Structure 1
Amino acid sequence: MSSHMTRRALLASGGAAAAAALPLIAPGHAAASTPATQSTKASEFVPDVGPGNKFDFDGEALRYPGNSTVFHVPQDSRFHQALLQVRQDIVHSPVGKQHCLLPKNSLHMTCLNGTNENPAQRKYGYWPRDMRLGQTIEEVHQHFLDKLQGFSTGLPQPLLMRPTELAGPFEKQGLSLTMVPADEATAAALKSVRERLSALLQIRRPDFDTFEFHISLGYPWRRYSEGLATYAESRRLEWSAHIRDQAPQVELGRLEFVVFNDMLAYSPLMYLDS
């Protein structure tokens, strides 16, 4: 977005543009769930589903506003096509019904997780230490945007990464493709920018030092049977190999500061190093 006014308008709307996303590829139910039916259905689903989480028992995205720094996957790349091929295969396999798949145009790799409105994460480490815990997420968006003006990432252009494998098991890890830097120089640059962003924005999650770069294709939703888990493991290895074969080394887009209302769309407020 080119003007500060435009950014402020988007912030004031809570990132309204993020709401215009593609539908989820997951089974749904026409009728709204009641507390009783939610309790009955809960045993079918993984723990992080339902009120207060990212997705509900109908596979619909719940409100989960926040911000992040990400690299979007260029949609004209061979890598993006390989991801879509695997995504399509997953949709038509038994694995697809166990997950909430993300829209094709939202695929990205996170650099440093930002802040969100999840009450469980409204604490320092997740929440910026130089802001009050009672402030709004929109105020955090603006605070970060102001701080990031003029920030230099020091990252090589283009940013080169290598896909390794889809993490397993799917029921626990979701459909998440692990990514590693293409060389030591890129690894050092990414480590540096994460440290500097963390210090600037005053956020440092407990998993900061163990964080692995990844691209999410979908979130866990329904529980797996033992037989399905065995099938999924064999397909996990097959799908991972396909991605590596099609795109052994990939170029990612510029680092962006983005806001979102849910997990379906990430609206850039600024490109770092712009």
Structure 2
Amino acid sequence: MPVHLSTLATYYGRGHHPEPPRHLGTRYDQSGKFLPEPGNTVVCHLVPGSATEQALVDARARYMGMPDAGKLAFTPVESYHMTLFQGIIEGRRNAPYWPAEVATDTPIAAMTELFAKRLELFPGRADFAVEIVEALPTGLVVEGATAADRHAMADWRNAFADIFGYRHPDHDSYQFHITMAYLIDWLDDAVLPSWQTMLDEVAEDIRRRAPVLELRAPAFCSFEDMNWFEELRVFGTVEPVS
């Protein structure tokens, strides 16, 4: 699916955004350094050494060579993942992003222990395949490759919502993605046409080289910032990751 210039302008262009990007100052600073923002999540990491990983490494290099690339805080390749279900995160301690029966001042580490305990007997759900939809300045939009895959992903999300005890407002419309960068500042409108061309080429290259993205099994993870997501339990295995 080609990226439309109007979409880039609306979501990434300076002309539409007098305010700073929303994660600036909490998730990363003006230099692009990631800041402490602990939490937990359920993700599917890229398979290390796979054709998918190499395609995204090459895409990252193209992003970094673009005009205004200095306005992006790039995440490390080893952190690349598709979020299957959002856990809790420091700085967002209110309903419906937090289980109603748990005190909102509970430490993040204790929340991770609580969720891990709740997940001990969860066997997981059906396998699914994922494909790229489009490339954006911040990464890739992805979805289940078939209707059955999309149904399976929704089934996983519904199960986690029941176990964790909350549903985000976008629970049913959540856009699956692989984050490659965050905006430090908005892109100048003048560079958007060249970004549009590059993004369409990147999406087509990934689609050709990795028609089904090579992802690891879903894993419950903890994190301190956006540099690394530590797998605590990989679903389909009996024991936690040691």
Match in the other structure for 1:235: 198
The 10-residue stretch of structure 1 (196-205 or 181-190) with the greater mean CA deviation from structure 2: 181-190
1:1-274 matches, cutoff 5 A:
46-51=20-25, 53-118=26-91, 121-156=92-127, 159-167=128-136, 170=137, 175-274=138-237
What is the CA–CA distance in structure 2 between the aligned matches of 1:188 and 1:138, rounded to whole Å? 32
Which has the larger helix fraction?
A: 1
Asked if the contact 2:68/2:188 (under 8 Å) is kept, the reply is no
Amino acid at match of 1:46: P
Asked if the contact 1:45/1:57 (under 8 Å) is kept, the reply is no
Match in the other structure for 2:7: none
Structure 2 spans left out of the alignment, 5+ residues: 1-16, 238-242
**Are residues 236 and 45 of structure 1, via their aligned partners in 2, closer, same or farther at CA, if it must alter by over 3 Å?**
farther
What is the CA–CA distance in structure 2 between the aligned matches of 1:45 and 1:78, rounded to whole Å? 38
Amino acid at match of 1:272: F
- Offset of 1:45 from its aligned partner? 8.1
Task: Report the TM-score, using the length of structure 1 for normalisation.
Answer: 0.76
Amino acid at match of 2:206: I
- Offset of 1:93 from its aligned partner? 2.1
Structure 1 spans left out of the alignment, 5+ residues: 1-42
